[in-house]
Structure 1
Amino acid sequence: MVTIRPPSTSALATLNLMFRTPAPPDPTEFAGKRAVVTGGSRGIGAAIAQRLLDGGATVVTTARNASDETPKAATFIQGDIGTLAGVQAFTAAALNELGGVDIVVNNAAAARAHLGGVSSIPDEEWLDALYLNYLSAVRVNNALLPALREAGAGGAIVNISSGAALTPAPPLAHYGAAKAALNTYGKALATELAPAGIRVNTIIPGNVLTPGADAIRQNFADAMNVELAATTASIPLGRPGDPRDIAEAVAYLASDRAQWVTGVSLPVDGGELPVI
């Protein structure tokens, strides 16, 4: 089992110099839209919540705990959506806060790497991976679907998967398997909801620098006796991802710019992941 340790901030500082900030978002793009973002306290989830806020949406987010990265303009509801009861409590509170929903982003995720490989992953961690990384999205969507349908055509669900679903490494087999299930589920749900005008798409991030992912990469680097930078050196576009890269993709898929896009699994990876 890998012991997670706090990552160095040097890689994140370097990334901030490499990420080219796009033109400021249209502050009216999501005006009047109500959005739910799970796992929005830090990293990719916080960037997604902030991007939707910047576009004019009203945002509710959740995680086990808030952090300094949690967007202050979002309503934060503490909770654990790794359980059915936690999902029910959160979605009820979110709907009470928003009065309805137009955009759902399922970003909540967690992984614990086991350098001993697939056979070293305890049974309970296979279940934990399934509950948080896959079933939480199924349950959140099921709970919010009546409100999405009531809002009418134009609703959008974006599920955040992982490159681990396409290139499964033995230490993260449980995580990759859960995310692979999320990819398949998203395609099926997109087909089912298309007649209602509700679009469902999946984003597959590559190597994005976040506190949690960077800690896992650091432990892989330590095990291989290489520098942390070596774990992202093969990315064709020359740098690891920034959470804002994923947030921009979410903004596109949640917007009317993607009104004829559904059932897509979109890698946002700098060119690193295999063709799907």
Structure 2
Amino acid sequence: MTGFLNLEGKRALITGGTKGTGGATADLFRSLGARVLVTARSRPESLPEDLFVAADLKTAEGAIAVSDAVNDRLGGADIIVHMLGGSSAPGGGFAALDDAEWENELNTNLFPAVRLDRLLVPQMVAQGHGVVVHVTSIQSILPLPESTTAYAAAKAALSTYSKSLSKEVAPSGVRVMRVSPGWIETEGSVHLAERLAAQANTDYEGGKKIIMDSLGGIPLGRPAKPGEVANLIAFLASDRAASITGAEYVIDGGTVPTV
């Protein structure tokens, strides 16, 4: 991969970039020559302080802190990867979601990208180039009513916002794309599969099957690896994809059953 792509000298911000797919993307970007700043709420001991900014991007103040760090440490951004996302909403369907749960899902999955783009994309427009990758989810078109209604709605809003932004800034040389993963075998999903396996008195592979069955099956027979999603993001961020903007790339092993 490193022989095919080149991000030499590119200044990149990756939110949620300390572990899982975000961590894999940050590692790959660095191996391709990019200067990478990552942000999360807490810094892993393995990550030097100069490569990290602590912030709660669920707040406007957190977005400002990250924007200031990008300008102070990198002198601006050439690439932004909005990896941050997730859900802590309870199961139980729509009736279990009060206003606080809805606000939390939007503050986690939509507003961090909106706020950071508002702060950083104008600089990309002024410099005449830049790449923004919004990581959405197949849940935006394949929600699970029992547990992901609010998360799916927030990701759908992010997808629509991303498309609109792409149309606005493309004439200025700024490319905006969406990457829509299905189930990714991150540390968190491994723990979930292990927990489900223990509850069902089966092994890890059995736990994985429970998750895949809940998604309606994965024709490829397995979840994506974090590095596979990182490879797609790196390609889209590179000059190899110079004419791609406004598009959504699904990486789900065939989970979505429709065209």
Q: Normalising by the residue count of structure 2, what TM-score does the alignment of the two structures yield?
A: 0.89
Relative to structure 2, which stretch is displaced further, 115-124 or 134-143? 115-124
For the 8 Å contact 1:58–1:74, the answer to whether it is kept is: no
SS class of match (1:100)? coil
Question: Residues 194, 56 of structure 1: CA spacing in aligned structure 2 closer, same or farther, 3 A cutoff?
Answer: same
Work out whether 1:51 is the aligned partner of 2:28: yes
CA separation in 2, counterparts of 1:180 and 1:219? 29
Question: Residues 225, 161 of structure 1: CA spacing in aligned structure 2 closer, same or farther, 3 A cutoff?
Answer: farther
Q: Match of 1:163?
A: 138
Query: RMSD between aligned alpha carbons?
Result: 2.3
Relative to structure 2, which stretch is displaced further, 193-202 or 266-275? 266-275
CA separation in 2, counterparts of 1:54 and 1:275? 36
Deviation at 1:237, TM superposition (A): 1.7
Name which of 128, 136, 139 aligns with 2:115: 139
Determine what percentage of the aligned residue pairs are the same residue.
37
Q: Match of 2:212?
A: 232
Work out whether 1:32 is the aligned partner of 2:9: yes
SS class of match (1:104)? strand
Work out whether 1:78 is the aligned partner of 2:78: no
Matches within 5 A, 1:62-211: 62-67=39-44, 75-153=51-129, 155-170=130-145, 171-211=147-187
Question: Residues 119, 220 of structure 1: CA spacing in aligned structure 2 closer, same or farther, 3 A cutoff?
Answer: farther
For the 8 Å contact 1:209–1:240, the answer to whether it is kept is: yes
For 1:35, the aligned partner's letter is A
Question: Residues 113, 128 of structure 1: CA spacing in aligned structure 2 closer, same or farther, 3 A cutoff?
Answer: closer
Deviation digits for residues 147-196 of structure 1, max 9, x if unmatched? 2123323x110000112112111211111110010111111111001100
- Count of residue correspondences: 251
For the 8 Å contact 1:108–1:132, the answer to whether it is kept is: yes
Deviation at 1:122, TM superposition (A): 2.9
Relative to structure 2, which stretch is displaced further, 204-213 or 216-225? 216-225
CA separation in 1, counterparts of 2:258 and 2:173? 28
Structure 1, unpaired ranges of 5+:
1-23
Deviation at 1:238, TM superposition (A): 2.2
Deviation at 1:115, TM superposition (A): 2.3
Name which of 252, 266, 272 aligns with 2:235: 252
CA separation in 2, counterparts of 1:182 and 1:225? 38
